[in-house]
Amino acid sequence: MPIEESSPKSAATISTTSRFELAPPRRFILPAVLLLLSERPGYGYGLVPRLQEFRFGHVDRPAVYRALAQLERDGLVEASSQNPTAGQARRVYRVTSLGNKVLRVWMGVIKEEHDYLGQVLRRYQATGTPDSVLAEVEGGWAGALGLGWSPVSPTSAAPRRLVPLEAEADLASTETPSVAEQEAGSACPHVQRFRLVPDRSVVLIDVRSTVGPLSFGAVGVGGWVEAAVDGVKLRTDIAPSARLEIDVSGLRSGNRVYDAELLRRIDARRFPQAVVELRECAANGPGTMFRLTGELTFHGVTRPANGAVSVEVSAERRLVITGEQAFDIRDFAIPSPSVLMLRIYPDIRVRLHAEAELEEAP
C-alpha cells in the first residue's frame, strides 16, 4: 500500500496501516527465561521485569510461571524452597546442566533467525531507494549487519568519486553533448531556488577499521540549490550554484563508544557542520550525470573536491541528488580515530542522498 511522506497526518496513517508490532519469536520466552536464570538464580516474579528488558512487548506473571513449569517438567530448571521471615515459602529457580546444553542449542536457533532477518534488511538496503538509505541511517544497522563498502585508495591522491563505482563504465562510454544539443529546449529558462528537505536528505560515511566496515550516518542535510530547469532536465549552460550543510555532530553508527570517539576526534562541538560549496557544474554526457567542482569545509579546513553526481528532476520540480566521494581524513587535519583495539583507517567514502523542493515565490 502507498505510504505518504513524513508529516503528522502521514505518521498517523503509517501507524494505523502498517499493522506491525514488535513481537518475540515463537516460544522465545523459554530460552529467554533460561538465559536470565543462567545469569543468576531467581524467583518467578523477579523474572518479569528482567524479561521486559528484551523489549518484546507485554510479559505478565502467569506466562512466566507457565514457562517455568514447562522448563521444570523437562528437567531444564530446578526449584528449591526458601522460607521468608513471614508468609509462604518462595521457590528459587536455577538452570540444570541439561538446561545449559539446551540453552546453547537455542542460541544457535536464535542466531539462525537473526541471520534470516539480516537477509531481509540486506535485500531492502540493496533496493537503493531513498527510504532504504534513510532507514539505514535512522536504524544504525548497516555496521551491525556487516554491510560492506566499495574499497577506495588509502591515499589522498586517489581519484575523487561522487558516483557509485559500478557507474564508471557508463560514464566512460558517454559522449559530451554538443553546444547545440545543450542549448536545445526552452529558449531561456530562469534560475530557480530549491531548498533541501532535511528529513529526506542524508549523508553516510563508510569507513574501514580493524574490526571490519563501519558506517556513520546523519539525517538532516540542509542548504539550497539555484539552477535552471528545462522540463525534467537540469540546465548547465546557465551555471548552477549550491550550498550543502551537513550536521556532523549528528553522525551516529549505532555504537555509542564508536560515536563518542568519532565526535571527539573531529571536534564536533567546535566544528558542528561540514559545508559543500558548488563552483562549477557540467553535463557528463546525455542523461542525469553531471561533473562537479567545488569546495568542502570540514573540521575547519577547506579543500577542493570534484567528481560526479546524478541529478534527477521530478515532475513536481523536485531535485534528487545522489553520489559518493572518497576522501582522506588526514587532508582535514584529523588523525585516524582509535578506540582500544579499534583503529579506523584514514580513507573514507561519503555517500549523499539529498532532495530539494522548489521554493515558493515570495
Residue 206 · residue 196 · CB < 8 Å: no
Shortest CA distance to 208 belongs to which of 148, 297, 287, 298?
148
Q: What is the predicted pLDDT for the residue at 22? A: 57
Q: Please report the pLDDT score of residue 290 as a whole number.
A: 92
Report the C-alpha gap between 347 and 327 in whole angstroms: 6
Rounded to 5°, the CA angle 346-347-349 comes to 135
**pLDDT (0 to 100) of residue 278:** 95
Q: Which three cell numbers stand for residue 101?
A: 546444553
Q: What is the pLDDT of residues 84-119, one digit of tens each?
A: 555 666 889 999 999 999 999 999 888 888 888 888
Torsion of CA 130, 135, 137, 143, to 10 degrees: -120
From residue 113, give the alpha-carbon distance in Å to each of 118, 214, 218, 288, 305: 8, 23, 29, 41, 44
CATH of domain 19-123: 1.10.10.10
Residue 19's pLDDT is: 56
Tally of CB atoms within 10 A around 266: 21
Beta strands in the chain (DSSP E): 42-43, 77-82, 90-95, 191-196, 202-209, 214-219, 222-230, 233-235, 241-247, 273-283, 289-298, 301-313, 318-328, 338-339, 342-358
pTM: 0.62
CATH class of the region 147-358:
mainly beta
In this predicted structure, what is the pLDDT of residue 153?
32
Same fold, 19-123 and 147-358: no
What pLDDT score does 139 carry? 73
pLDDT score at 338: 63
> What is the pLDDT at residue 221?
94
pLDDT along the chain (362 residues), means of 10: 41 52 69 93 91 82 92 93 66 93 90 83 78 76 52 33 40 44 54 93 87 85 93 87 94 84 88 94 85 93 90 87 89 74 82 90 61
Q: Name the residue among 300, 298, 203, 217 with its Cα closest to residue 259.
A: 217
* Domain ranges for the chain: 19-123, 147-358
Distances (CA, A) of 315 to 170, 225, 230, 319: 25, 17, 11, 10
Report the C-alpha gap between 262 and 324 in whole angstroms. 20
Check residue 137 and give its pLDDT. 77
pLDDT per residue as tens digits for the range 115-168: 888 888 878 877 877 788 778 777 766 555 554 433 333 333 333 333 343 344
Query: What's the rounded Cα separation, in Å, for the pair 346 and 334?
Result: 9
Question: What three-state secondary structure class fits 236?
Answer: coil
Q: Return d(Cα 125, Cα 133) in angstroms, integer.
A: 7
* Sole residue written with cell 523459554: 30
The helix (H) or strand (E) run that includes residue 132 is helix 130-139
